[in-house]
Amino acid sequence: MVELCDVVLVDVQALIRVFDETDGAVNLVSVKETGFNRLVSRIGFLKASAEEVPYVDVDEVRKSCCVVVTGGEEGCTVYWKDGEVRMPTFSSVQVDPTGAGDSFLGGLVAGLVEGLAVPDAAVLGNFFGSLTVEQIRLPDFDVRLMQVGFLVALHWVLRFIVVVHHYE
């Protein structure tokens, strides 16, 4: 995949999960302990949840790719070689967190494909993650939600520009 794609986005859970051969339990191991560690420098974005990030050396990985750490109600933090930024989440009533990380990643990817800057794409990811936790089982999205999501991300960007301009 790395050779076929311009940019590769990876959810770290695919790299750090191992199955116990005796009881089938899922355990997490450090990325450095896996065969995937050598591929990290070829990844564009690595997404990890707050629970998974202890298995990732963020300070090392951010030297070669963008790391996005989701934190549920705390929003997410985007790390890159020379900096980091915390992006707020959206107010929601959590019913079931299943799939929130996948929805976040889908929103992030959609934002990047549409040309949003990484922090703004992360806002879109937060938007879809917040919608997902309010539903049971698979999230039920329609095309209008993507349009609303882009408007929300655009509103956030414009509000941020106004605040920054005000303080300059």
Q: Which residues participate in catalysis according to the annotation? A: 102
Alpha-carbon distance of 107 to 113, in angstroms, equals 10
CA distance 79 to 11: 15
Contact assessment for residue 113 and residue 87, using Cβ atoms and an 8 Å cutoff: no
Per-residue tokens: 99: 């799939």
106 Cβ contact partners less than 8 Å away, ≥ 6 residues apart? 125, 128
